[in-house]
């Protein structure tokens, strides 16, 4: 009987782990490019993927982007605050499907740069 309950617990834990949401994580992105992007499995407390933007009100032109897992209570909200005397506005847009917040990574611009370098080197041979 003891083994039966152990089996039930393992089965429940496996099902719970299988239902966790997978999101793209981007700790920081600048000018629409994500730095160090990867996939992350959200824990049970966070049930949404998000795309966030923080804009500093003094500059207006500079905004930082982030992506990852978020509690659904913070979705579609705009928050304001101060950081070292500079005021900022943060907004979060959420979705609830695996990898629905797909973040672009640095790899695409790197590929484009390498392709341009190869083409320019080939151009010299013609």
pLDDT computed for residue 35 by the predictor: 80
State percent of the chain over pLDDT 90. 33
DSSP for 63-97, written as a single string: EEEEEEEE-GGGTT-EEEEEETTEEEEEEEEEE-S
Model pTM score: 0.62
CB atoms closer than 10 angstroms to residue 21:
20
Q: How far apart are CA 19 and CA 37, in angstroms?
A: 22
Average pLDDT over residues 21-36: 85
Distances (CA, A) of 11 to 17, 19, 38, 101: 10, 13, 28, 30
Token output for 12: 């429940």
What is the three-class DSSP state of 2? helix
Average pLDDT over residues 49-64: 82
Query: Which superfamily, per CATH, for 2-120?
Result: CD59 (2.10.60.10)
């Amino acid at each position: 009987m003891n083994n039966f309950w152990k089996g039930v617990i393992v089965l429940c834990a496996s099902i719970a782990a299988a239902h966790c949401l997978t999101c793209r994580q981007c700790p920081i992105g600048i000018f629409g490019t994500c730095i160090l992007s990867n996939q992350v499995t959200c824990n049970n407390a966070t049930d949404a993927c998000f795309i966030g933007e923080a804009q500093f009100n003094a500059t207006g032109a500079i905004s930082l982007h982030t992506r990852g897992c978020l509690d659904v209570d913070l979705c579609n909200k705009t928050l304001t605050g101060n950081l070292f005397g500079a005021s900022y506005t943060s907004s979060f847009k959420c979705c609830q499907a695996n990898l629905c917040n797909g973040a672009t990574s640095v790899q695409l611009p790197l590929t484009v740069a390498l392709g341009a370098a190869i083409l320019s080197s080939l151009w010299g041979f013609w």
